[in-house]
Structure 1
Amino acid sequence: MKNIITILTLAFAFTFVQAAVAQNLDNIDTSKKNYIVLTKKVQQLKPITLAAEEMKAEDGSEYGEFHVVFCGKDIPQLTDKKFMKPYLEMLEKGNVKLIACGFSLKKFGVDPKDLPEGIDIVDNGIAYSLKLKKLGFYGMEL
């Protein structure tokens, strides 16, 4: 009985945290040029941020949002605040939104509360990417 209560409590908490921080797709300006990148490696965040800066310069006033969804087995690296600090600062400076895949968090045993501030969570990173592409986002997977 104790295990069932613990499992239900964790499931509720995980669902609540995801719902609380998940990006609201209704607030995206689809008249702008928006971008989505799906990645599995933290080290790719630097070239992704450089690409975002280049797109912002090229698009000018037509530039909208740049989202990066992180999925896969390396997702526990996102909880290492010291390791992530320079990447998060770079992303913030470039106005790039970092989003963690909730499915990957769950699969690889990462507690969403352990993620640094500023990282959003979506239920399924791949589905989120596809939804944004349906809204007109330019996208790619690395």
Structure 2
Amino acid sequence: MLRYVLTTLLTAVLFLFPMAAMAKDPPPSPKGKLVFVAMTGPEDAGTLSSSFRHALAAKKSGYLEDVVWLSWGRAVVALDSETSVLPKEVKEHAKAAQKGGVRLVACGQALKKWNVDRAKLEPKVEVVANGVDELARLVSLGYEVIRY
């Protein structure tokens, strides 16, 4: 009987200790903040698409408390529901990023310059008066910048 109890205990120890060692540490509390600045236009649809996908991946990582995708210049065309120069995948990635918690922001001055109607933005995004001012504000709040 003692032999059975000792064998059972030894088996349990040999089985449970490795499992405890393999247990993952809980993810750290989200601390960082990123702003993905999109400046490229429809001539580089791959980069525009990547900027949305990478922003979403950063948000999903669990390491960040906030992720912003900020567009100015020709990049605002990626949000124009009437544009036909971009593959539909770019819009799909934009919608997925927004649905995943990435805050999408467009520069109001760029929208005017490129004749993009705010009412026809897709997906619907936050519009700021000036993208550079918004970037400066975000940097002052501790955001790190990734440029596309």
**Fold match by TM threshold 0.5:** yes
Q: Does 1:55 align with 2:58?
A: yes
Query: For residues 110 and 54 of structure 1, what CA distance do their matches in structure 2 show?
Result: 28
Report the counterpart of residue 125 of structure 2 in structure 1.
119
Report % sequence identity. Answer: 25
Q: Does 1:75 align with 2:76?
A: yes
Q: Does 1:132 align with 2:138?
A: yes
**C-alpha deviations, 1:38-82, integer Å up to 9, x for none?**
112363343234433543465x3x521111111113523422268
Larger radius of gyration: 2
Identify the structure with bigger relative contact order (alpha carbons < 8 Å, sequence gap 6+).
1
TM-score scaled by structure 2?
0.60
Aligned residues: 110
Unmatched segments (≥5 aa) in structure 1: 1-30
Query: For residues 39 and 72 of structure 1, what CA distance do their matches in structure 2 show?
Result: 8
Report the counterpart of residue 97 of structure 1 in structure 2.
103
**Secondary structure class of the residue paired with 2:74:** coil
Q: Which runs of 4+ in 1 moved over 6 A?
A: none
Letter in 1 for 2:54: A
CA RMSD across the alignment: 2.6
Point out the structure with the larger helix share.
1
Conservation of the 8 A alpha-carbon contact between 2:68 and 2:105: yes
Unmatched segments (≥5 aa) in structure 2: 1-29
Letter in 1 for 2:36: V
